[in-house]
Amino acid sequence: MVIAIVGCAAILILLHGSPHGIDYREPHALYHMPRWLLALAALLTVISYGAAVVLDGSGLKYLRVKVPLSAIVVGAFCGSALDNVVGLGGLSGRTVRARVLSAVDVRPEQVDRLMLFNQVSSSVGLLGRPSAIPLRRPAPCGFSCRKRSGSSTLP
């Protein structure tokens, strides 16, 4: 995750200083782009799809579902590709993963739990501080039970 953020920041910084920018409507714009920038984009794309495979593998391991690595790779790669194109990750990615994983006897409710695992994991990663999410049970009084100076806590 950190590598992807640093890579995106580097690309934005480099493109910000570019006097011409990138014209996506002109296919020949890629010929004028530096080769190292294209290589960097390809590398970050591979890292992104690799992260999707690792995330799906982690989710299935967490759910204690035994799935062949080939099914995880195909499901994660195709699901992520469709997510990136369509933009409806919760729907399109789930459908593709369900189709691929059903071939190796993964039940639909397990795919739903996998998608929930992926969404929660991504949300925690986006926060940047996992400690910001209360993972422990809240204090019995409903408030912070630490005594503030000059005040008392509720029973």
Sequence spans of domains, the chain: 36-128
User: What percentage of the chain exceeds 70 in pLDDT?
Assistant: 62
pLDDT confidence of residue 139: 47
Higher model confidence: residue 28 or residue 53?
53
One-letter-per-residue 3-state SS of the chain? CHHHHHHHHHHHHHHHCCCCCCCCCCCCHHHHCCHHHHHHHHHHHHHHHHHHHHHHHHHHHHCCCCCCHHHHHHHHHHHHHHHHHHCCHHHHHHHHHHHHHHCCCCCHHHHHHHHHHHHHHHHHHHHCCHHHCCCCCCCCCCCCCCCCCCCCCCC
* pLDDT tens track for 53-75: 999 999 999 999 999 999 999 99
User: Which one has a higher pLDDT value, 12 or 120?
Assistant: 120
pLDDT reported for residue 101: 93
